Amino acid sequence: MRVEIVALSTLPEVRPGDDLAALIRQAAATEGQTMDRWVVLAVAQKIASKAEGAVVDLREIHPSALARSWAAEWKKDARLIELILSQSRRIVKMDRGVIIAETRHGLVCANAGVDQSNVEGDFATVLPNDPDASARRLLASLGCGAVIITDTFGRPWREGLVDVAIGVAGLDPLDDHRGRTDRHGRKLASTIIAVADQLAAAAGLLMPKPAGCPVVLIRGFDWQPAEGSARSLLRKPEQDLFR
Amino acid sequence: MRVEIVALSTLPEVRPGDDLAALIRQAAATEGQTMDRWVVLAVAQKIASKAEGAVVDLREIHPSALARSWAAEWKKDARLIELILSQSRRIVKMDRGVIIAETRHGLVCANAGVDQSNVEGDFATVLPNDPDASARRLLASLGCGAVIITDTFGRPWREGLVDVAIGVAGLDPLDDHRGRTDRHGRKLASTIIAVADQLAAAAGLLMPKPAGCPVVLIRGFDWQPAEGSARSLLRKPEQDLFR
């Protein structure tokens, strides 16, 4: 078994309104990469957001009292804090300058997905409105096998960030091994692998932030085609021990 | 940029006392895979534990009162619960049949790393005594560039398991981008990527549990050689918002 991960290196800077599928198709063609149904395409959230215009001008934001007091306490930009709060439907943790929030998509992450890296001056990106739909549009336009939209998340207990799938089309993000048996005939009790997150992390090996290779092709991974949705990756509140 | 991930498919069943490096060297040779300093070798915890004899006979365990009451309430094997408690230095969460514990290594995971999959009858594996040392021994013996020992962990908030690095040798598990600047000259504030965990997840794409390909070679990933330790991946208690 062999999986190959290739980053597209000729993608131009993506701007609001750009046809992202066309830019990816062009870069792939330039680099001799064919899109076919054996390719899982991983696209960094940042460029999906930019292409979709999910970019906010901080000069148009009027910070609330909470945003102003938090920003003053932790030496942050109050407009950015207000944007983070506006992108949240629930604050999971707000402590020591860190805001962990649940976005309206149900994603739990730092700063509700608001990010200033690789964006100009007074601007920040927010998450795509519907990352599954972003993935579906690219899938339909590019003719690859599956698309995941990835973002870089922190984790409790562990240092460092890893990439996860926030949008999915063309594959089931969970590979359910329950009911199958191991080498010794024992039923595998609770082995559901988050393959979309493993794919995102694999792609993340070639998406280091400063270099900025936000589109990665994965070939040789074997999956059952399915419509798929990143919502499957969200733990239901009633099953969440860390809510 | 191109990364290649290859699973060794001819590794035999690993048993206590086996020379794991020799088995891996043999399988790699059989499959025409060369070990060199550009290879990151990912090895599943399960076989490292087996080779090191980190396998426990449940028939020799005398469950404590807590283990017995928890097992009765959740229809579990009291001997297994006792083993989990004995491998823990702190219980992070014990609720609805689930035990999330901090192991004596400082890893926070379900069941303190105790696992019955792919083990015979009344036996269970525990984590290697010192997973960094397990990785260092394989590195010294095999002559590859880096070794990570991987295990499959759940996460708060997200469904499904992903592979992470619990032992590391030959690379810094954290790639620190702080101080570097993005395309727009903005300092990257908090971008530390857990590359060892991204590598583990990438390897995990080829380590599905029932198939059992527990050794994976990763080629083409670019890293700065370093002694490395998976301890770098453990968040310090004073910085942990979810302790």
CATH of the domain at A121: 3.90.1660.10
Q: Which of A171, A158, A159 is nearest to A225 (CA)?
A: A171
Q: Is the dihedral of CA B192, A193, B219, A166 positive or negative?
A: negative
Residue where a domain terminates, one of A127, A160, A188: A127
Q: Is the dihedral of CA A180, B5, A23, A15 positive or negative?
A: positive
Residue where a domain terminates, one of A100, A127, A154: A127
**Across B49-66, average pLDDT:** 97
Question: Would B240 be classed as within a structural domain?
Answer: no
What is the Cα–Cα distance from A203 to A41, expressed in whole angstroms?
Answer: 9
pTM, two decimals, is 0.95
Report the SS3 class of residue A194. coil
What is the Cα–Cα distance from B106 to A25, expressed in whole angstroms?
Answer: 45
Strand partners, A219: A4, A39
Same domain, yes or no: B36 and B144: yes
Please give the average pLDDT of every successive group of 10 residues along chain A, which has 243 residues: 94 95 97 96 96 97 97 97 98 95 97 88 95 98 97 96 98 84 65 95 86 89 94 93 87
Same domain, yes or no: B100 and B218: no
Q: What is the pLDDT of residue B118?
A: 74
Same domain, yes or no: A200 and A142: yes
* Cβ burial B209-222 (10 Å sphere, 16+ → b, else e): beebbbbbbbbbbe
Encoded tokens for B242: 């979810």
When CB atoms are compared, the residue of B183, B198, B235 closest to A162 is B198
Hey, are the CB atoms on A158 and B164 less than 8 Å from each other? yes
Inform me whether the pLDDT recorded for B184 exceeds 80. no
Inform me whether the pLDDT recorded for B100 exceeds 60. yes
Q: What is the ipTM of this complex?
A: 0.95
- Burial category of A151 from C-beta neighbours within 10 Å (exposed 0-12, middle 13-18, buried 19 and up): buried
Q: What is the pLDDT of residues B160-170, one digit of tens each?
A: 999 999 999 99
Q: Distance of CA B105 to CAs A12, B137, B235, Å? A: 45, 18, 12
Place of tokens 């020591």: A96
Encoded tokens for A128: 């795509």
What is the Cα–Cα distance from B20 to B47, expressed in whole angstroms?
Answer: 8
Same domain, yes or no: B65 and B6: no
Q: What is the pLDDT of residue B129?
A: 97
Inform me whether the pLDDT recorded for B221 exceeds 80. yes
Hey, are the CB atoms on B159 and A235 less than 8 Å from each other? yes
**Across B223-239, average pLDDT:** 94
Q: What is the pLDDT of residue B198?
A: 98
Label residue B120 by pLDDT band (50, 70, 90).
confident
Question: Would A243 be classed as within a structural domain?
Answer: no
Hey, are the CB atoms on B108 and A182 less than 8 Å from each other? no
Contacts of B40 in chain A (CB under 8 A): none
Closest alpha carbon within chain A to B165: A158
Question: Domain containing B82: what range?
Answer: 55-127
Phi, psi (degrees; rounded to nearest 5) at A32: 70, 25
Place of tokens 């999956």: A223
Question: Would B89 be classed as within a structural domain?
Answer: yes
Same domain, yes or no: A151 and A230: yes
Q: What is the pLDDT of residue B212?
A: 65
Residue where a domain terminates, one of B100, B127, B154: B127
Place of tokens 């095999």: B142
**Across B140-155, average pLDDT:** 97
Contacts of B4 in chain A (CB under 8 A): 2-5
The amino acid at residue B183 is R
Inter-helix orientation angle A78-86/A65-74, to 10°: 130
Contacts of A198 in chain B (CB under 8 A): 162-163, 201-202, 204-205
Question: Would A114 be classed as within a structural domain?
Answer: yes
Q: What is the pLDDT of residues B199-217, one digit of tens each?
A: 999 999 999 755 569 999 9
Percent of chain B topping pLDDT 90: 85
Closest alpha carbon within chain B to A97: B241
Q: What is the pLDDT of residue A188?
A: 62
What is the number of other CB atoms lying within 10 angstroms of the CB of residue A235?
A: 19
Same domain, yes or no: B187 and B218: yes
What is the Cα–Cα distance from B60 to B86, expressed in whole angstroms?
Answer: 13
The number of distinct structural domains making up chain B is: 2
Same domain, yes or no: A113 and A157: no
Hey, are the CB atoms on A191 and B93 less than 8 Å from each other? no
